[in-house]
């Protein structure tokens, strides 16, 4: 039965069947063939999404879409440009910061790659940047937002593992800084090597001050999203609701770029994205039930501990597996499959589930920009009309920097866990 279960899952995946349908259908077939009470299917599907923390997802998605349409995102982009736009590789580094910020708020790295790819790739090419390098910058920077709170990926991991979302947020901030710094360093190094210089003009305080004043209202959104949770004023879900209300008010009445006519499409797009995620999460609960029923997690624990009881070795193996998965699967797919299987191994080794969550999320972020099927890589190359192989080649140094950041987070956990210990 186990062979049949995994065989059907792999076959459906290779045929291109959507993830939610793949894991749901294979699980349902297993339950029917194993003569398990059919009612368990309904119970597990509803239990999977009957988690209060998942209520934050639609509000974060909606807040991000409202920000992109309401002009808040553009103000923050202008502020970043006034700070580092004149330096070597300035426009590329502005793109990195913008991608990370927008992906974190919107919850969609794919949407970030499409939106900012359309805006920033032509701008970089116009300033003399190689088109493939400009595409690689957007491709490698867009997924990084899944690490930085408020991250939908962290919320999903928390719902699957039972780890505290507030703790995941706390660890996600330094992890995001480490990863972002590594990517900025690689971008600067390449820009300096290739001669992608800024204007060379001195820093203009007046220009910075003007951009800061124009972006103050926009900067209030991450303060609400993150500060509200850490201060105890909001739960993650409540902070999402507050951010939605704030984005509507600022977009409509302060910047006046968000119109009533925009709201229908924004709500519809946000609802579609939310429904897709919730469908996958519900079927993931059913998939996890089948794994537990067949005692697969316990078998994995025994198998890993037979290979080695050294956490360093086990984490290295898991990282390699996750990086390979990331080349072929999207973020949610990896979480759905990996968390139920590997979490018992992590617990048996005494590794903090919060740290493991950060490791998994960083791996999935790297996977989105790696060939051959990285989501943001495909979107960025399609947007820029570049060849996948050429852009992948230009992504080499940035991806190496991200892997170095991953190893730092994995083996020097105090860098991200210091506030929780």
* C-alpha dist (Å) from residue 259 to 244, 256, 365: 15, 7, 33
Tell me the two tokens of residue 88. 């070597």
| Alpha helices in 15-163, H assignment, sequence order | 19-33, 39-49, 56-70, 72-84, 90-106, 109-126, 131-141, 152-161
For 61-79, letters b (16+ CB in 10 Å) and e give bbbbbbbbbbbbbbbbbbb
DSSP state, 145? Answer: G
* Residue 361: Cβ-neighbour burial (10 angstroms; 0-12, 13-18, 19+): buried
pLDDT value of residue 186: 94
Query: How many angstroms separate the CA atoms of 184 and 189, rounded?
Result: 9
DSSP-derived secondary structure for 369-387: TSTTT-HHHHHHHHHHT--
- Report the predicted TM-score, pTM, of the whole model to 2 decimal places: 0.77
Q: Residue 86: helix, strand or coil by DSSP?
A: coil
Q: Nearest Cα to 24, choosing from 10, 41, 1, 2?
A: 41
39 burial type by CB count under 10 A (0-12 exposed, 13-18 middle, 19+ buried): exposed
User: Reduced to 3 states, what is the DSSP secondary structure of residue 154?
Assistant: helix
Angstrom distances, CA of residue 189 to CA of 55, 144, 183, 185: 41, 19, 10, 6
Q: pLDDT value at position 409?
A: 96
First-last CA distance in the chain: 44
Distance (Å, whole) CA 358 – CA 168: 7
CA pair distance 157, 38, nearest whole angstrom: 27
Rounded Cα gap, residues 76 and 71, in angstroms: 9
pLDDT tens-place values along the chain, 421 residues long: 778 888 888 888 778 777 678 888 888 988 888 888 888 888 888 887 777 767 777 887 788 778 878 887 778 777 777 777 667 778 888 888 888 777 666 666 776 787 778 778 888 888 889 999 999 999 999 888 788 887 788 888 998 888 988 899 889 989 999 999 999 999 999 998 888 876 566 767 788 888 888 888 877 777 776 777 777 777 777 877 888 888 899 889 988 888 999 999 989 988 887 887 788 778 877 887 887 788 776 676 677 667 777 888 889 988 988 888 887 677 777 887 788 888 888 888 889 999 999 999 999 999 889 887 677 887 888 878 888 888 989 999 999 999 999 999 999 999 999 878 7
Angle of helix 353-367 versus helix 165-194 axis, rounded to 10: 40
């Amino acid at each position: 039965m186990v062979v049949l279960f995994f065989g059907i899952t792999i076959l459906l995946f290779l045929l291109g069947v959507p993830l939610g349908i793949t894991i749901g259908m294979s699980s349902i077939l297993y339950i029917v063939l194993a003569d398990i009470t059919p009612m368990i299917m309904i119970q597990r599907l509803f239990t999977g999404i009957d988690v209060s923390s998942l209520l934050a997802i639609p509000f974060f998605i909606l807040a991000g879409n409202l920000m992109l349409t309401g002009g808040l995102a553009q103000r923050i982009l202008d502020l970043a440009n006034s700070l580092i736009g004149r330096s070597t590789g300035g426009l590329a580094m502005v793109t990195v910061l913008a991608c990370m910020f927008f992906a974190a708020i919107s919850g969609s790295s794919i949407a970030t790659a499409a939106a900012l790819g359309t805006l920033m790739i032509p701008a970089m090419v116009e300033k003399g940047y190689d088109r493939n390098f400009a595409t690689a910058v957007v491709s490698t920077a867009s997924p990084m937002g899944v690490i930085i709170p408020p991250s939908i990926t962290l919320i999903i991991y928390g719902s699957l593992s039972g780890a505290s979302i507030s703790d995941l947020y706390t660890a996600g901030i330094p992890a995001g800084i480490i990863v972002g710094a590594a990517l900025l360093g690689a971008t600067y190094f390449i820009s300096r090597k290739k001669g992608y210089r800024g204007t060379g003009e001195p820093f203009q305080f007046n220009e910075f001050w003007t951009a800061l004043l124009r972006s103050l209202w926009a900067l209030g959104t991450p303060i609400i999203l993150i500060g509200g949770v850490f201060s105890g004023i909001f739960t993650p879900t409540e902070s999402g609701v507050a951010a939605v209300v704030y984005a509507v008010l600022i977009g409509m009445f302060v910047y006046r770029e968000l119109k009533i006519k925009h709201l229908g499409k924004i709500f519809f797009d946000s609802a579609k994205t939310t429904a897709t995620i919730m469908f996958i999460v519900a079927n993931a609960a059913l998939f996890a039930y089948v794994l537990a029923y067949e005692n697969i997690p316990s078998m994995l624990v025994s198998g890993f501990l037979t290979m080695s009881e050294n956490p360093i070795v086990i984490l290295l193996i898991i990282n390699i597996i996750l990086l390979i998965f990331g080349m072929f699967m999207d973020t949610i797919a990896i979480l759905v499959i990996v968390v139920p299987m590997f979490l018992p191994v992590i617990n048996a080794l005494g590794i903090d589930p919060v740290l493991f969550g950060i490791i998994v999320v960083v791996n999935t972020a790297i996977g989105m920009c790696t060939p051959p099927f990285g989501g943001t890589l495909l979107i960025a190359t399609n947007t820029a009309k570049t060849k996948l192989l050429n852009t992948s080649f230009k992504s080499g140094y940035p991806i190496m920097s991200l892997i170095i950041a991953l190893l730092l987070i994995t083996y020097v956990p105090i860098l991200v866990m210091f506030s929780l210990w």
